[in-house]
Amino acid sequence: MDVRNRFVASLAAISLLYAGSAWAGAITGSAHDFSGSNWSGGKICVACHAPHKSDTTVSDAPLWNHTHSSATYTLYSSATLKATISQPGGNSKLCLSCHDGTIAVDSFGGATGTTMVTSGNLGTDLKKSHPIGFTYDTALVTANGSLHDPETKTVTIGSGTQTRSGTLKSVLLYNGKMECGSCHDVHNTFTVGATGSGLVKLDQAGSKICLTCHDK
């Protein structure tokens, strides 16, 4: 083998190594890789996205293909909460189109499917879940007294070669609001663990994920 061929061979070996390793940082093999389901036609993205004729009824929905839920959610409330909670915002509505358990995973592109989420059924009573759908800003930090300021506190999400750094506001919030994507990365791109670790953007060890925002 001449030098050039040896170089090409080693490049191929490296890419094989990466393709085969279970590092965090890919939708392939994650809970959202639907390519193995018989209804997906071997595709990963199709249950959520379409390149054309996408559904634009929910604001900020990127080329959306999945049927939306029409549920009205019971919102989080407590005696101590300072935030003003509203119905879930765009990002969360996309997740809840499968995870409130009212619409099938394979209901997309206008078709009605039959496969429901199982362990991931959060229901429509969001009082049972960490609050979402509210503005997290300096005013809320002042009112609450034990939160980090999302405008100034910085964080690094992800792991290995796939990380993103910035203020809480720039890497965790959606239009300044707390949504499902504040803790999870739907594509498993900027997550901390291997497959099955809950698609979380920050480590759960020592509750690092919680202490990123809560100054306890």
Q: How far is CA 164 from CA 26, 45, 158, 201, in A?
A: 15, 23, 7, 10
Is there binding between residue 186 and ligand HEC (CB under 6 A)?
yes
Handedness of CA 129, 134, 140, 141 (dihedral sign): positive
| Residue 37 engages ligand HEC in binding (rule: CB under 6 A) | no
Single out the residue of 69, 181, 190, 192 in contact with ligand HEC (rule: CB under 6 A).
181
Q: With respect to ligand HEC, which residue has the nearer C-beta, 71 or 180?
A: 180
Q: Check residue 180 for interaction with ligand HEC (CB under 6 A).
A: yes
Q: Could you say which of 24, 26, 132, 192 contacts ligand HEC (CB under 6 A)?
A: 132
Distances (CA, A) of 115 to 38, 42, 124: 11, 16, 18
Number of residues that bind ligand HEC (CB under 6 A): 58
26 is an interface residue for ligand HEC by CB under 6 A: no
Joined together, the tokens standing for residue 77 give 């409330």
Choice from 26, 71, 94, 157 touching ligand HEC (CB under 6 A): 94
**Rounded distance, CA 190 to CA 71, Å?**
29
Question: Residue number with the shortest CB distance to ligand HEC?
Answer: 198
191, burial (CB in 10 Å: exposed 0-12, middle 13-18, buried 19+): buried
Cα(153)–Cα(168) distance, integer angstroms: 6
The reply to whether 99 sits near ligand HEC by the rule CB under 6 A is yes
Residue matched to tokens 């078709």: 111
Which residues here bind ligand HEC, judged by CB under 6 A? Answer: 27, 31-32, 44-45, 47-49, 62, 66, 78, 80-83, 91-92, 94-99, 105, 117-120, 122, 129-132, 136, 140, 144, 147, 168, 172, 178, 180-184, 186-187, 196, 198-200, 204, 207, 209-210, 212-214
